[in-house]
Amino acid sequence: MKLNVLRALSLRRTLLLVLVPGLLLVGGAEVWQTWRTAVGAANAAYDRSLLGAIKAVDANISTVSGGLGVELPYRMLEFFELTASGRVYYRVATEDGLVEIGNAHLPPPPRVLVTGRPQFLDASYFDEPVRVGSYSRVLDPPLAGQTAGQRVVIQIAETLESRQAFTRALVLEAVARDLLLLAVAIGLMTLAIGWALRPLTRLRNEVEARSALDLTPIVPIGIPADVLPLVEAINHHVERSRQQTQARQRFVDDASHQLRTPLATLTTQVGFALREANPAHQHEALIAIKAQLEETVRQTNQMLALARFDSAGLRPEILDASELVEKTTREWWMEAREHGIDLGFEPDSEPLRVLGEAALLKEAMSNLLHNAIRYTPRGGQVTVQLTHSAGKGVITVVDNGPGMPVEERARAGDRFFRGSNASQPGTGLGLAIVRSIAERHGGELRLGSGANGQGFAVSIVVPLLAAAG
């Protein structure tokens, strides 16, 4: 839910809400790392000074008298106290603790000392934080009565005022530097985001300034490469809207043009029937009016169907074209019998599975069968054939009627185009509907001649499902 709210914000706010906390987190990590580095640098510097004091004390240890003697370098220790800006404690003792000089309660080293290798630790001496350096070496000669290899332990501790002040100065300097860099980075990032989003603002203003009738594509000049796919998608949507608008306008123009003549004819026929006193002549006029109305209704339905097919979305499903075509052909057997036409069906050797909409394919088949039965003379033949080739299914309606002149077939499928040898009234929309449905299924409309070059063959070619997958 929170992610959806974030996405609903402007792109500028989204980037700032994501990047600024990220920069702050990086800045915090940088301060923490700087503090660790400062502590390490301070310890390294001050521990070298502490080791120097230990070496100075070690140089003044003597066992010549048989006991443990230390001549403390007081001036050096005073100077060391000044350097440490605090108090200094020391302890010199044999490893077994039997002989001990100095501050006896200094914290012991955390691990066993390695001869000649110093150890340093942060500890507490009488509730005061100190830094303790420990060092051991072999006494030569050993104390009286002791075997060779006896070791002496030297410890010097200092309070932490100077170290802490040095570390604090380093950290504050680093924090000030990091805050300055962070502020500059956020400022530059804000400016860069604003500059990078200027083309989007310009694009928004250009789209908002357009009129509702302006369906020209957006010119992708000065558009960032990341936004270019969005502009292309908008242009694609605009082009589809333009085509739909043109289709609606074309439908209105076609409807007004095509319905004007039959309506005028109907008006004339009705006027004639009203003036005619002879009942027989009135009956003939009413029959003519009925026929004209039926043709007008069919023409109107075809125009509405064509407009619907041009604009409606396709809802595809997996279909068995063989079953669909056979079922549609059977539904037209009664119509063919009434016109004295022999209607046959020749299935393919294999099932033809396609991805399409059953209602649209059935409408296309019905238009082809209606045209074939209507224009084929009584006693003729109409055959529905199913074949497949190269991953495509072919549904063909063949008749032995008058066909269409070869030179006119290139225009077949255009709206309201009819062959010059058409013997029946019609709208010229049947093949246009078939072609529109075929193209919406990713196929095409093909025209040819029947058997032995006689008649007409119209084919719907659609991709088979296997080829599409």
Helix %, strand %, coil % of the chain (to 5): 55, 20, 30
The per-residue pLDDT for range 335-369, each reduced to its tens digit, is 899 999 999 999 888 888 888 888 888 888 888 89
How far is the C-alpha of 115 from the C-alpha of 421, rounded, in Å? 119
Select the more confidently predicted residue: 424 or 6: 424
Asked whether residue 211 is domain-assigned, the answer is no
324 and 455 share a domain?
yes
Do 462 and 319 have their domain in common? yes
Taking only the tens place, the pLDDT of each residue in 177-212 is 888 888 888 888 888 878 877 877 787 787 788 777
**CATH number for the domain that contains residue 454:** 3.30.565.10
Whole-number pLDDT of residue 75: 65
- Residue 63 placed within a domain: yes
Predicted pLDDT of residue 383: 92
Q: What is the pLDDT of residue 309?
A: 62
Find tokens 């609606």 and name the residue.
248
Residues 416-466 have pLDDT tens digits of: 556 555 556 555 667 777 888 888 888 888 888 887 778 888 889 998 886
| Apex 263 CA angle, 258 and 265, nearest 5 | 105
- The CA distances from residue 197 to 7, 180, 204, 247, 307, in Å, are 16, 26, 11, 37, 42
Phi-psi region of 244 (alpha: psi -120 to 50; beta: other; left: phi over 0): alpha
Helical spans, DSSP H, in 136-197? 161-196
At a CB cut-off of 8 Å and minimum separation 6, what does 221 contact? none
**Is residue 30 assigned to a domain?**
no
Sign of the torsion formed by the C-alpha atoms of 36, 37, 42 and 48: positive
Task: Supply the Cα-derived Rg of the chain in whole angstroms.
Answer: 50
Summarised one tens digit per residue, pLDDT across range 38-83 is 888 888 888 888 888 888 888 888 887 778 877 776 666 666 666 6
The pLDDT of 127-151, averaged and rounded, is 86
CA–CA gap between residue 93 and residue 120 (Å, rounded): 17
pLDDT of 469? 41
Model confidence pLDDT, tens digit, residues 82-134: 666 678 888 888 888 878 888 888 998 888 899 999 999 999 998 899 999 99
The boundaries of the domain holding residue 320 are 315-468
**Residue 281 and residue 148 in one domain:** no
Write the pLDDT tens digit of every residue in 163-182: 888 888 888 888 888 888 88
- For residue 141, is the peptide bond before it cis, meaning its omega torsion is within 30 degrees of 0? yes
Closest CA to 293 of 313, 311, 273: 273
Structure tokens at 85: 């800006």
Please indicate, yes or no, whether residues 257 and 342 belong to a single structural domain of this protein. Answer: no
Q: Does some domain include residue 155? A: yes
Question: Cα angle vertex 32, ends 41, 45, to 5°?
Answer: 5
Residue where a domain stops, chosen among 135, 168, 201:
168
d(CA 269, CA 57) in angstroms, rounded, equals: 135
> Within this chain, do residues 460 and 325 fall inside the same structural domain, yes or no?
yes
Reported confidence tier of residue 145, pLDDT bands at 50, 70, 90: confident
Distance CA 310, CA 324 (A): 22
What's the angle, vertex CA 351, arms to CA 345 and CA 356, rounded to 5? 95
The residue from 276, 308, 340 where one domain ends is: 308
CA–CA distance, 354 with 80 (Å, rounded to integer): 95
Give, in order, the Cα–Cα distances in Å from 96 to each of 99, 143, 155, 398, 463: 8, 12, 15, 118, 97
Of 168, 189, 219, the residue at which a domain comes to its end is 168
The 10s digit of each residue's pLDDT in 240-285 is: 777 777 767 766 666 665 566 677 777 887 887 788 778 887 788 7
Task: Give mean pLDDT, residues 400-420.
Answer: 70
- Encode burial over 190-220: b for 16+ CB neighbours within 10 A, e otherwise: eeebeeebeebeebeeeeeeeeeeebeebee
Q: 121 lies in a domain?
A: yes
In the three-class reduction of DSSP (H, G, I as helix; E, B as strand; rest coil), residue 394 is classed as: strand
* Domain count of the fold of the chain: 3
Tell me, yes or no, whether 202 lies in a domain.
Answer: no
pLDDT exceeds cutoff 60 at 9: no
- Residue 145 identity: G
Which sign does the torsion angle of CA 248, 252, 253, 259 carry?
A: positive
Q: What is the pLDDT of residue 179?
A: 84
273 and 323 co-located in one domain: no
- Non-local (6+) Cβ contacts of 345 within 8 A are 325, 326, 329, 330, 383, 384
In a domain, 289, yes or no: yes
Which amino acid appears at position 118 of this protein? P
What pLDDT does residue 1 have? 46
Q: Please give the full DSSP string across 66-107, using - where no structure is assigned.
A: SS-EE---HHHHHHHHHHHTS-EEEEEEETTSSSEEE-TTSP
Are the C-beta atoms of 435 and 305 separated by less than 8 Å? no
